[in-house]
Structure 1
Amino acid sequence: MARNRSIRNKKKARRKVENIDITSLLDILVILLVFLLKSYNSSGVVLNVPKGITLPDSRSETANNPGVMIQVAKERIYVDDELILDVEEDLKQNKNIFGEKGRMLVPLYDTLVKKKEEIKTLSKQVNMVAGVSEDDENKKKFTGIANLIIDKTIKYSYVKKVMYTCAAAGFKEYKFIVLGEDQ
């Protein structure tokens, strides 16, 4: 019995309370927290910039608004990340891409009209499900906002055609997406 006690006492004597230094762990956690807060996008809008588009720089602080994303590269136009116009390819196939005396891009116009109808249909369904009446201020409606992501090397005459096409399709409010100082 005495022998058992001495073995137990030896085991207890061997166990030492270790002090863990957690300052370096806390430093890492603080750095991660700061990084995540800095990279957090509070606007809720995800932007995908296709290859070939270089955004202009700006000091603007305003956040972008939800709306249809129109991405204009040198030879291509995308609407909500879907390629709708490849200028070189369409001209090779002799497709009529210009309308109204060269001021409008026909494939862009057709796509935007479809998007407008989709948005109106969805907003009616949301209002119906939410039980919102037609006279209510809280009802969802078509805003006509077009977020334009345009390469900074595009000529103004081409940008004017894109804007004219957007306005003709019912998207009369433009938001130009640019790179801010911290991006």
Structure 2
Amino acid sequence: MSAELPRAPQPRASVVRYKAALRKAIRRNRREPEIDFLNITAMLDLMTIILVFLLKSVGSSAASIPQSKDLTLPKSVMQAEPSQEGVVVIVSKTQILVGDDPTPIVVLPSREQLAQSGVDARYKRSGPNDHYIVPLANALSHARETDKAVRAAKGLDPSSSEAIVVADATTPYRLLCEVLFTLGQSEFGKHHLMVLSGGSKP
């Protein structure tokens, strides 16, 4: 029998090669971390954009208000574009409305009484000679809060709101003064009177 030749000793791996192979194996077996949480920041950004869009869509144009026997706008020779910003206050021959709410805020008496003492004393704060209309002020306070949020979303000054007064052409001066006074007391610092352009010059 022939004797087997002794095997040559295999060279040992150096520490450097061992560490390199270990790092290579770690990189090969490493897994990407799974996302097991919800990204709230992106959702908040999306909700903010939607909220701003909805607030901006609240303000509607007052130029599209239909006329009727109960509401006929006065005519003016001015050719300026109507204001699109503000809370709409409608003063017809028989009632006062605020915004898109079809429910009358105040039911108006006869034209003779309106010319003398304005709306009924039961709607006033302190008697028939007062100019403050309580139901109108209550409705304006709610509209003011909404308009304040809209103005803040649009980057406008929220310290004061604007109102668009849509009054009938035959509205007595006394009633118009009471409406404007109540608007001023309700933090509406600027008023726009809606009229029809194209009137003849005197």
Q: TM-score, normalised by structure 2?
A: 0.53
Q: Quick one: distance in 1 between partners of 2:177 and 2:121?
A: 21
Any residues of structure 2 matched to 1:105-116 within 5 Å, and which?
105-116=133-144
Higher alpha-carbon deviation: 76-85 or 103-112: 76-85
Match of 2:106 among 80, 85, 92: 85
Q: CA deviation at 1:123?
A: 4.1
Give matches, 1:31-180, under 5 Å: 45=61, 46-49=63-66, 51=68, 52-65=70-83, 66-82=85-101, 83-87=104-108, 96-100=122-126, 101-124=129-152, 126=153, 139-142=155-158, 143-180=160-197
CA RMSD after TM alignment: 2.4
State the distance in 1 between where 2:170 and 2:151 align: 36
Mapping for residues 10-29 of structure 1, pairs under 5 Å = none
Residue 174 of structure 1 and its aligned partner are, at CA, apart by 1.0
Q: Which ranges in structure 2 are unaligned for 5 or more consecutive residues?
A: 1-59, 110-119
Secondary structure in structure 2 of the residue aligned to 1:99: coil
* SS of structure 1 residue aligned to 2:185: helix
Query: Per-residue displacement from partner, 1:25-52 (whole Å, max 9, x unpaired)?
Result: xxxxxxxxxxxxxxxxxxx824314531
Residue 122 of structure 2 aligns to a residue whose secondary structure is coil
Deviations 1:80-115 (A, max 9, x none): 132322235xxxxx9931124421111111111111
Contact between 1:69 and 1:147, CA under 8 Å: does it hold in 2?
A: yes
Q: Secondary structure, in 3 states, of the residue corresponding to 1:175?
A: strand
- In 2, distance between residues paired with 1:174 and 1:140? 16
Partner SS for 2:165:
strand
Q: Which runs of 5+ in 1 are unaligned?
A: 1-43, 89-93, 128-138
Identity, in percent, stands at 22
Preserved CA contact (<8 Å) 2:147 2:161: no
Larger Rg: 2
Aligned length: 122
Tell me the distance in 1 between the aligned counterparts of 2:180 and 2:151: 24
Q: Contact 2:67–2:73 (CA<8 Å) still a contact in 1?
A: no
